[in-house]
Amino acid sequence: MRVIECSNLTKTFFTKKALNKLSFSIEENKITGLIGRNGAGKTTLLKIIAGFIKETSGEIKVFSEKPFNNLNNSAHVIYVDDHMSFPSTIPLLELLKVAESFYPNWNRDLAMRLFEYFSFDPKTYHHRLSKGKTSTFNMIIGLASRCSLTIFDEPTTGMDESVRKDFYKALLKDYIAYPRSIILSSHHLSEIEDLLEDVLLIKDGKTYLQMPISELKEYAFALQGNNGEVFKLTSDKEVIFKNHIASNVTYVIVKNDGSKNLLQQARHAGVEISPVPLSDLCVYLTNETNGGIEDVFNEN
């Protein structure tokens, strides 16, 4: 069963296209990472899925229903980010009870244990929490609600290192205990790459690529060596990123087209071959140009 299906999804704000004919689908019970640069349309997409905003054109179905203004969708999909709003008059512990009343699959036990683990004061109010604590609390709501589709949009904003790690562990453990579809959008791909099964990379409001994370790891590799040699080796390849490290040394990332002999050729030519860290790869994939920030400072 497909949890999300969307085709040619377009969303325009005034004249700016946030999403531009985006098409993809997400299978049931998978943890999908939504990756993209700032302004790529991640949040817009997630809010359309959550039913907060309406697509301008195209089609989207979540659990085979249109999500906008759909009560069922609202009950099955929870969208967690650091802007979730809670009343300033209801203390935290009671907020958990309110959430429990709304979500049929709510796991009180989990909520309470997380609440205590992160040492929340039951009597304090949501608006008094620090940024990190806010994110942590929202995360608890997101996890404990056990919605069939749980969306975390930049869930770790403001969290410190250890809380972030705890969060990912909690997410994974609860996912194993109660499989459901989860979409994670994060800037810190390196942190979540062990968690993800699928990656959906969007660029300029379009799906750039969507594949299992294991494939993405072999999507490209890097070559580093003498300018001429590297140029020779990569002339028939799709270059993702190119950088001159020194006057005669070039670093190039190319798409893996599956040719085996490149490895040997490279070794003969004294060119180093290395895998590309996923987070780097995603950054390069979503760059506008083939060069990096260095290009700005290279005068020639």
Partner 1 sequence: MSLTRTNLAKTIKKQYFFKLKANITSFTLLIGVQLLALLFSLGGVASSSFGSSSIRLNTQYYTADIVIIFTLIWAFVMAITITTKPHRDLDFTFVTNRLSSSFANILYLLTVSIVGSMMAILSDNLLRVIIYTFLDKQFYSSTMGLQEFIMGISITSFYVLMVCSIGYFVGTLVQISSLFTILLPALFFGSLFLRPSMDEKPIITNAFEYYLLESSLTLFIVKIVITTALFFTISTSILNRMEVRQ
Partner 2 sequence: MNTVFTVSIFIPLLVGITFIIFIIMAKLWRRFTNVKVTYWFLFIYIGILLLSSAIVPFINDNSLIEKERAQENLEVKDLLKKLSKTGIAQIDQMYLLKESSFGEYQNQTLNVETSGEDTMIRVFVERKTSDDNKVEAFSISTEVIDGYDISNDLTPYNVMLKDNTLTIISPKKQYINIKIAKPPFPVRQFTGESIVNQSSTKWSQVVYLQIPYDLELMVEDGIFLEFIK
Interface positions with partner 2 (CB under 8 A) = 88-90
Q: Which two tokens stand for residue 92?
A: 């935290």
Q: Contacting partner 1 (CB under 8 A), which of 23, 74, 124, 157? A: 74
Check binding of 133 to partner 1 (CB under 8 A): no
Site string for partner 1, 140-179 (x = CB under 8 A): --------x-------------------------------
Name which of partner 2, partner 1, none residue 99 binds, using a CB cut-off of 5 to 8 Å depending on partner kind: partner 1
Closer residue to partner 2, CB minimum distance, 89 or 130:
89
d(CA 30, CA 3): 10
**Residue whose CB is less far from partner 2, 95 or 252:** 95
Nearer to partner 1, 141 or 196 (CB): 141
Q: Does position 1 bind partner 1 by CB under 8 A?
A: yes
Output 72 or 248, the one with its CB closest to partner 1: 72
Q: Closer CB to partner 1, residue 87 or residue 122?
A: 87
Q: How far is the CB of 89 from partner 2 (least distance, A)?
A: 5
Kindly indicate which of the ranges 69-77, 192-200, 254-262, 289-297 contains the residues binding partner 1, using the contact rule CB under 8 A: 69-77
> Among partner 1, partner 2, none, what does residue 53 contact (CB within 5–8 Å per kind)?
partner 1
Judged by the rule CB under 8 A, the positions of this chain that interact with partner 1 are: 1, 28, 47, 51-54, 63, 69-72, 74-76, 83-87, 89-90, 94, 98-99, 101-104, 148
